Amino acid sequence: MKAYVFPGQGAQFIGMGKDLYESSDEAKALFEKANEILGFRITDIMFSGTDEELKQTKVTQPAIFLHSVILAKVLGSDFKPDMVAGHSLGEFSALVAAGALSFEDGLKLVAKRANAMQKACEIQPSTMAAVLGLDDFTVEDICQRVSDVVVPANYNCPGQLVISGTIAGIDKACELLLAAGAKRALKLNVGGAFHSPLMESAKVELEAAIVATEIKEPICPIYQNIDAKPYTDVQSIKDNLIAQLTGSVKWTQTVQKMLEDGATSFIEVGPGNVLQGLVKKVNRAIETSSASIA
């Protein structure tokens, strides 16, 4: 069974999508439609902008979404998923690729999500940190012991967790995690505390948009971040998408569940190969590849 997976923030690079734009009329038309919907030429930043421009949340998220979704569309009949999942932002790409969301609606939601997250970051300075070499339980326990807001945000693979919270909370947690034997507890260069209660204002804003957007039943189950379970029911998909912004991304558990349910290969659709690396950390023997039109 083929599992198609879609990356999230952090996978971006300058030049992403340029080959698609230049080699496919369908891709070019979709990129131009995206420029129109967003009200600025995101393709200029993606293909030849600076890292600084691309790194802004309001640019990064739509850019990764566009690369993933347009690639899936250009694959045409070669895109035959038995199951899909996306890491954080990638969940929106997965829903569009699996026919649950239209291209236009998906892009509008992602742009709204990115802007709402950027605003939430400005309300309260906050950050995230990567923790390597500790089991999930120890990290969860230490987060609970810190008096400031600190929560596990991304369960990326066994022994790699990202925590999210206030700057003081993350500093304190990193200190305690290193003392508990973490190989590394490293603050990330991100705008704020994604997937934590500090994103509540963004969640409220996004919730209204998700409720008002038409979502159809996907062509295959989508394994959602919030609980790593497969869904095809429209109401559940909406509820889980809303909960995702303040809830943790259970990626380790998602990969484990997909394997349990019969996944025999994982194909990453979008920029980079981060997710393939994480899948291999769960099961070294599983076949992984990048989707490509060549």
Place 122 in a pLDDT band, splitting at 50, 70 and 90: confident
Residue 289 designated active-site? no
Which residue in the list 67, 93, 195, 248 is annotated as catalytic?
A: 195
For residues 66-74, average pLDDT: 97
What confidence tens digit (pLDDT) does each residue in 253-291 have? 999 999 999 999 999 999 999 999 999 999 999 999 999
pLDDT of residue 123 exceeding 90, the answer is no
C-alpha–C-alpha distance, residues 221 and 16, integer Å: 28
Within 89-174, strands assigned E span: 126-132, 150-157, 160-166
Q: Which run of H or of E encompasses 57?
A: helix 57-75
Question: Which CATH fold topology does 2-122+197-290 show?
Answer: Malonyl-Coenzyme A Acyl Carrier Protein; domain 2 (3.40.366)
- Helix count (H) and strand count (E) of the chain? 13, 11
pLDDT at 125: 87
Which residues are CB-neighbours of 32 under 8 A, at least 6 positions away?
Answer: 43
Cα first-last separation, the chain: 22
CB atoms near residue 21 (< 10 Å): 19
Residue reference for tokens 């919730």: 207
pLDDT at 50: 94
pLDDT at 218: 98
Which residue in the list 88, 93, 196, 248 is annotated as catalytic?
A: 88
Residue 87 designated active-site? no
pLDDT at 112: 95
pLDDT of residue 191 exceeding 80, the answer is no
C-alpha–C-alpha distance, residues 171 and 186, integer Å: 10
C-alpha–C-alpha distance, residues 60 and 57, integer Å: 5
Indicate the average pLDDT of the chain: 95
C-alpha–C-alpha distance, residues 37 and 52, integer Å: 22
Helix axes 234-244, 200-212, angle to 10 degrees: 160
Listed by start position, the domains of the chain span 2-122+197-290, 126-188
pLDDT of residue 95 exceeding 80, the answer is yes
Question: Which CATH fold topology does 126-188 show?
Answer: Alpha-Beta Plaits (3.30.70)
Residue reference for tokens 């993933």: 68
For residues 28-45, average pLDDT: 97
